[in-house]
Chain A
Amino acid sequence: NAGVMQNPRHLVRRRGQEARLRCSPMKGHSHVYWYRQLPEEGLKFMVYLQKENIIDESGMPKERFSAEFPKEGPSILRIQQVVRGDSAAYFCASSHSEGPLITYEQYFGPGTRLTVT
């Protein structure tokens, strides 16, 4: 059972370009989360999605950032008109939907390191 997959692993963009980060959850997981991590800091929640629905986007900037998790295919985090401050590691996690679980353990991907030049 493959783990959470993210691509690309490294992405370099010039200021003003668009960045698209992809995340394929673990098999059987229908819940996806995106986090951002700056150097020497903890992860910051951005958005939580289920298939075709955004459940919680309270951590995502209102402008330039968007996320989707279509019925078919990976989840996409899209950053338009990137700026230097967007440089960070972006992690995707997935979890089970329902079941006899106490809490929903999140499984993380390896991350995408975005560098804006």
Chain B
Amino acid sequence: LAKTTQPISMDSYEGQEVNITCSHNNIATNDYITWYQQFPSQGPRFIIQGYKTKVTNEVASLFIPADRKSSTLSLPRVSLSDTAVYYCLVVPRAGNNRKLIWGLGTSLAVNP
């Protein structure tokens, strides 16, 4: 399973755009990039998933370059409630292997 690397922490201010980059140099052809968000004392919550180029939903955008060795989660106009830990995971296409491998994540602090 691919290993991911992302910054341990980031600071931002309300209203700013936040970009969190994740490296996954050993990503396989059938792997998808998935991001989860975790608030203190809660379970992780799925944010977004993509394979290549750009994916956007109501919460975030995910940018994936052609070589797929990295990805960037973009949070537009963050608010205080976006303070959380963000995890980047590489997830194999639907099959028998469903085990998620988690790194330390990026702890985002949004300041007023």
Of all chain A residues, the one with the shortest Cβ separation from B101 is A45
Docked-complex contact B43 and A110, CB < 8 angstroms = yes
Hey, which chain B residues are within 8 Å of A4, CB to CB?
Answer: 43
CA of A108 to CA of B87, assembled, Å: 14
The size bracket of the interface on A is 20 to 34
CA of A81 to CA of B103, assembled, Å: 29
- How many contacts between A and B, using CB within 8 angstroms? 68
Docked-complex contact A42 and B105, CB < 8 angstroms = yes
Docked-complex contact A102 and B104, CB < 8 angstroms = no
Prevailing SS type, chain B contact patch = loop
Digitize B20-63: 1 where CB-to-A-CB distance is under 8 Å, 0 elsewhere: 00000000000010100000011111100101000000000000
Contact A93/B49 with A103-B34, A103-B91 known, Cβ cut-off 8 Å: no
The size bracket of the interface on B is 20 to 34
How far is the CB of A6 from the nearest CB of chain B, in Å?
8
Docked-complex contact A109 and B43, CB < 8 angstroms = yes
Q: Give the residues from 79 to 116 in chain A that come closer than 8 angstroms, CB to CB, to chain B.
A: 91, 93, 95, 101-111, 113
Extra contacts besides A43-B100, A43-B102 (6): CB < 8 Å:
A42-B105, A55-B96, A56-B99, A103-B91, A103-B94, A110-B43
Interface residues of A (CB under 8 A from B): 4, 31, 33, 35, 40-45, 48, 55-56, 58-59, 91, 93, 95, 101-111, 113
